[in-house]
Structure 1
Amino acid sequence: MAYSGADGKPPGDAAKGRGVESIASSLLSLAYRLFQPGFCPGDWAWATSMAGAIIALFPVAGAVVVAVMRKFTGNRYHGPTLITIGVVGAVLVLLVPWLYAAGVSSVFRAVFAGGNGGLSAGEVDALQQQYCFVGPQDEYLGGGQNVYETLFYPSGDVFAYGYYLGMLVGLPVLALLAVLLLSRIALRRGPKWPGRLLWVPFVLYVLVSSGVEANTAVHLWLGFLPVTVLGVIPVALVGPPSWSVIQNSDRPPQREQPPPYVPPSQQEQKPPPPPPPPEKNYPPTSVAPAQELAAAPGPVPPPPGSAQGGSGRFRRVRRLGHGGFGTVWEAVDTQLGRTVALKIAHAPDKDTEERMQREARALAALSHPNCVRVYDLVEESDGLALVMEYLHGQALAESVDTVGPLDDITAGRLWATMASALSAAHEKGVLHRDVKPSNIIVDPAGLPHLIDFGIARSRGDAKLTATGMMIGTPDYVAPETAAGAPASPASDAWQLAATVSYALSGYPPRGTRETPMAALMAAARAEPPSQLPRQSVHAKLLIASLDPQPRNRPTLNAVQREVEGWLARAGTSAEGPVTRVVPRAR
């Protein structure tokens, strides 16, 4: 005696309907309602292609999730980030598509075997209709060999085998290329190796889907491929992570060294620390004039008496930055009651101290409203410290990244002002050597200031870098400097032009590279600029200033005259804001 449920399904079919087959039949019914043209090879064959298109939405969604996640994490691929990408790949690229594809195939096989596969009676009747050369659709989609049997145990003629070979191998290969493209776009501005967590699950999906009925698999792939190709659009619209996020993620984490273990017995024997000296005993601030500091030949000694008083005089508030030669802190000068920027060497050795002393001499020699001022050189408990003017505002790189590129007038003001500042530095025999968007601070009034002469070198000073060490930032380094030639005022002019090009376009002039070494090699080969703002009125002057030959570049004074002349003809002047920024929250 045969039993059936309230819906007329046998008990076995009812049990399956509560599982994957039920979900797959719902997907098929949805696809059938969305797309069911009544022509060859049949409405259900076309509905199967629509089901394949719906399945393809899951890998596209996975790429979108990765792209959105990188907007916040950048290139920081630690445990949680990699686990998240791995879970996205395993679930959205492998597991869900495989379950749906296998479920669709099982529905067709159930209908061919005489069941309903979770479909309604009307849908089953439509599935059993005949179309053109394929015959009954239930037999066409559910009564043949699976993918593995079709490819490795062919039963048809050569023409039929070639057809299945192209559809069951060619289409998945094209879909794999589309998934690779999705992963590369989702991982823009960063290493591409995490993309393996997306395309390797797709390869596994292709392999484990070999049990799907061959004709069903053909129509699934026909719908899957175009959706994955069109999926490039939403992933591209998400956009890459901002350069500020990437720079923050590229910084190595600051690991605090745990204190050494001291046995309890020794702790008890340790005498109590002496009380700190009273504040009134700290030495006063050095009042040596800037010109005297700058004119002193050789290394500059610390100010008298500052070796013992530095640790209590400056109260640090927060860390502002972490560069190649020092950590910069916002601090309060407790003697003078003013906020300063305190730059402390990473490793207080002789070479580092010479760098800090040279920076103090270079900055003290400058007197320009758009250059950061130096106040003092002191010794703190953790190294030699340079006391500088504290500038409120944000870096030009961050401003362009968040607000957008500058227009021609504001970029002209930036160029003319920074050219004037660098010319003043060159007149004192000082080369900056690291002009870039992150070394220009825009104050709340929109005025730019040149900072971080940490790798500046006055003429006549000895090089302190080891042989082969490159000084500067690869995306903004001049070709001759990258190739090993000594820096010159023309090198600073090239870097300033590259910075202005970034301010106008949002990209370094040579474009971006995946690694600093690749960017350095591009600079050493003097690759021509590829990301210049061609529509800008400054385009011709930028091309001339970015010439690979230093002798062909206009001098900074010539650039300043040219830009100021254009600003005057435009009815404005160089004395004005380059952009408006919102001061950072304290």
Structure 2
Amino acid sequence: MESIASSLLSLAYRLFQPGFCPGDWAWATSMAGALVALFPVGTTACVALMRKFTGNRYHGGALAGLAGLGVIGILLIPWLLVSGISGVFRSVFQGGSGGLAPVEVNALQEEYCSWVGPQDQYLGGGQNVYETLFYPSGDVLAYGYYLGGLVGLPVLILLAVMLLGRIALRRGPKWPGRLLWVPFVVFVLVSAGVEANTAVHLWLGFLPTVVLGVIPVALVGPPSWSTIENADRRPDRTPERQEQPQQPVHVHPREPQAPPPPPAKQYAPTSVAPTPEDAQGELAAVPGPVPVPGGSPSGGSSRFRRVRRLGHGGFGTVWEAVDTQLGRAVALKIAHAPDRDTHERMQREARALAVLSHPNCVRVYDLVEEPDGLALVMEYLQGQPLAEVVDNGGALDDVAAGRLWATMASALAAAHSKSVLHRDVKPSNVIVDPEGVAHLIDFGIARNKGDSKLTATGMMVGTPDYVAPETAAGAPASPASDAWQLAATVSYALSGYPPRGTRETPMAALMAAARGEPATQLPRRSVHAQLLAASLDPQPRNRPTLNTVFREVEGWLSRAGTSPDGPVTKLVPRQQ
């Protein structure tokens, strides 16, 4: 190792040898420290590159590889080189050559400063680090110099190494960073036998190289979200959701006909818990015969007694009603115009909700013909839309917003696992019940992969302030589009504003979405700001999947001492 160290010193001497105090070889030693620091920088760059393929899979070979890189690149090689450099100077001071050329040995014996003396004595004939720190000579000024050079510089370098580790481990847990900075701490401790003056100059060169090493490590970039998703897909870590029983939609089929063959899959499921291709999944993929609504014929009496109107829009009216036969409260969604497109949309929403069974998704009970139009009979949810909750009570805090994000991500993921897209996630389509639990409603423009079109006249899908850029630009909707809209809804819950801000007209908002204008109203002080920025990326491929969002938010809630199952708000004004 001494021959390798002497070669490294010779290279450093040729690269950097200014002829001023304390001497050309002293400065060449700092250059050698900069060259040694390339090994920790290269190690963290290798870790970042390795994660491009392994994601956050820290077990087995990946964990062993990470630990091996830390021990070899940050502890073993730097320690051997630093110890070898100190041994070369000690050998020259004792009359040897240390592997250096005669002309280099002669230059090492030159004196540049009277208070330094010959360089071979300055670098190889003094106390080592341990003796200098624990057996000081009594000179307070000199001891302060050595304390700063032998303790202060390594501490700064340690912080830089920890920063390198955090950059290399972006989009993942931070605990594997210990496998990088702990070897450096050991390296500093085992270097206590190095000559003190040599160590100071080595650390002086080591520090700027490690700090500048942040640039190449950052350029390697984090692993893609798809890589992280594939690495994290483990059955033992999937969150379990208690499914509630659901009554099927009662429909009367037309004349029997053979169902069409299932079309090719258009996107990968992103469920929170992997689900097999069961009968319900096939129902989402192959709608089968178009159902004919049952119930009272047009002009006849209704079994549903309407209590009050809950909402009214361009598509239809939603009523709170009572099922007189079963004696329960329901929500009755009645379409305005009973044309073919309206029937298809109602049937599509009924099918979409019928295949879902999730505690945070509104349930559908029946599809009936009311005297004034086709009606969808759904679960009645008491509460307020999230938009009203925020408008009346103010923005949510990080814990409430985290619960909202986790539960809605789980609900959407359950829909995606059945090949159903929501396509209109927004604050008014999230109902917060009196217990503070959020529910996703209004799957009226949802489509499954068996549907060939939305409507004959529909040009824009979704609400402009909350529509994903690619959808606004005319591209097909995808699970990433739903994930964008959910992130926009959470951003609104935290800030009180849509992520792109408000526009004067819906068309202006749609144009801003189609241009992919950046989000300017994000809650910068929220702990969720970084994940929100990633989820609102204009490029769908760069966004984290709903699985990843669920795990990230659930992990933060767990570290905060709470769970995603709690209320998202108490539904009381903030002054109370």
TM-score (normalised: structure 2) = 0.53
Is the contact between residue 469 and residue 514 of structure 2 (CA under 8 Å) also seen in structure 1?
A: no
Aligned to 1:205: 187
1:150 aligns with 2:137: no
Q: How big is each residue's C-alpha offset from its partner over 1:74-102, in whole Å with a ceiling of 9 and x where there is no partner? A: 22322222211111111111111111000
Q: Distance in 1 between matches of 2:430 and 2:100?
A: 84
- For residue 125 of structure 1, the aligned residue among 106, 117, 122 is 106
Q: Distance in 2 between matches of 1:328 and 1:341?
A: 18
The residue correspondences of 1:362-511 to structure 2 (distance < 5 A) are: 367=341, 374=348, 451-453=420-422, 497=466, 499-500=468-469
Cα distance, 1:109 vs structure 2: 0.5
1:56 aligns with 2:37: yes
Q: How big is each residue's C-alpha offset from its partner over 1:515-573, in whole Å with a ceiling of 9 and x where there is no partner? A: x9xx999869714789x6xxxxxxxxx2127xxxxxxxx8xxx52475369999xxxxx
Tell me which amino acid in the other structure corresponds to 1:62. T
Cα distance, 1:237 vs structure 2: 1.1
SS in 1 for 2:131: helix
Structure 1 residues 110 and 372: alpha-carbon distance in aligned structure 2, compared to 1, 3 A threshold? farther
Cα distance, 1:249 vs structure 2: 3.4
Aligned to 2:523: none
Aligned to 1:233: 215
- Where do 5+ consecutive residues of structure 1 fail to align? 1-19, 257-296, 343-357, 379-383, 387-426, 441-449, 473-491, 533-541, 546-553, 569-577, 582-586
1:73 aligns with 2:54: yes
The residue correspondences of 1:480-559 to structure 2 (distance < 5 A) are: 497=466, 499-500=468-469, 526-527=494-495, 542-544=500-502, 559=506
Cα distance, 1:112 vs structure 2: 0.7
Tell me which amino acid in the other structure corresponds to 2:268. L
Is the contact between residue 425 and residue 489 of structure 2 (CA under 8 Å) also seen in structure 1?
A: no
Q: How big is each residue's C-alpha offset from its partner over 1:11-32, in whole Å with a ceiling of 9 and x where there is no partner? A: xxxxxxxxx1111111111111
Q: Distance in 1 between matches of 2:67 and 2:346?
A: 47
The residue correspondences of 1:281-430 to structure 2 (distance < 5 A) are: 299-301=248-250, 320-324=268-272, 327=275, 340=286, 367=341, 374=348
Q: Distance in 1 between matches of 2:2 and 2:83?
A: 9
Between the two structures, name the one with larger relative contact order (CA 8 Å, sep ≥ 6). 2
Structure 1 residues 373 and 57: alpha-carbon distance in aligned structure 2, compared to 1, 3 A threshold? farther
- Where do 5+ consecutive residues of structure 2 fail to align? 239-245, 289-329, 357-375, 380-384, 387-403, 414-418, 441-460, 474-479, 516-537, 542-576
Structure 1 residues 559 and 92: alpha-carbon distance in aligned structure 2, compared to 1, 3 A threshold? same
Aligned to 1:189: 171
Cα distance, 1:250 vs structure 2: 3.7
Cα distance, 1:466 vs structure 2: 12
Stretch moving more, 315-324 or 67-76: 315-324
1:166 aligns with 2:148: yes
Structure 1 residues 248 and 25: alpha-carbon distance in aligned structure 2, compared to 1, 3 A threshold? same
Aligned to 2:510: 563
Cα distance, 1:324 vs structure 2: 3.8
Structure 1 residues 226 and 503: alpha-carbon distance in aligned structure 2, compared to 1, 3 A threshold? farther
Structure 1 residues 520 and 467: alpha-carbon distance in aligned structure 2, compared to 1, 3 A threshold? farther
Q: Distance in 1 between matches of 2:471 and 2:131?
A: 58
Aligned to 1:40: 21
Q: Distance in 2 between matches of 1:299 and 1:207?
A: 69
Is the contact between residue 317 and residue 329 of structure 1 (CA under 8 Å) also seen in structure 2?
A: no
Tell me which amino acid in the other structure corresponds to 1:173. V
Q: Distance in 1 between matches of 2:87 and 2:471?
A: 57
Is the contact between residue 262 and residue 285 of structure 2 (CA under 8 Å) also seen in structure 1?
A: no
Structure 1 residues 21 and 544: alpha-carbon distance in aligned structure 2, compared to 1, 3 A threshold? same
Structure 1 residues 176 and 85: alpha-carbon distance in aligned structure 2, compared to 1, 3 A threshold? same
Number of positions where the alignment pairs a residue of Structure 1 with one of Structure 2: 382
Tell me which amino acid in the other structure corresponds to 2:216. P
Is the contact between residue 319 and residue 328 of structure 1 (CA under 8 Å) also seen in structure 2?
A: no
SS in 2 for 1:115: coil
The Cα RMSD (Å) is 5.8
Tell me which amino acid in the other structure corresponds to 1:119. L
Aligned to 2:225: 243
Cα distance, 1:200 vs structure 2: 0.8
Structure 1 residues 212 and 314: alpha-carbon distance in aligned structure 2, compared to 1, 3 A threshold? same
Q: How big is each residue's C-alpha offset from its partner over 1:174-232, in whole Å with a ceiling of 9 and x where there is no partner? A: 11111111111111222211111111111111111111000000000000000001001
Q: Distance in 2 between matches of 1:462 and 1:366?
A: 29
Tell me which amino acid in the other structure corresponds to 1:70. R
Percent identity, aligned pairs only, is: 51
Tell me which amino acid in the other structure corresponds to 2:172. G
Is the contact between residue 45 and residue 141 of structure 1 (CA under 8 Å) also seen in structure 2?
A: yes
Is the contact between residue 431 and residue 438 of structure 2 (CA under 8 Å) also seen in structure 1?
A: no
SS in 1 for 2:501: helix
Is the contact between residue 111 and residue 118 of structure 2 (CA under 8 Å) also seen in structure 1?
A: yes
Structure 1 residues 460 and 147: alpha-carbon distance in aligned structure 2, compared to 1, 3 A threshold? closer
Aligned to 1:221: 203
Structure 1 residues 471 and 204: alpha-carbon distance in aligned structure 2, compared to 1, 3 A threshold? farther
SS in 1 for 2:173: coil
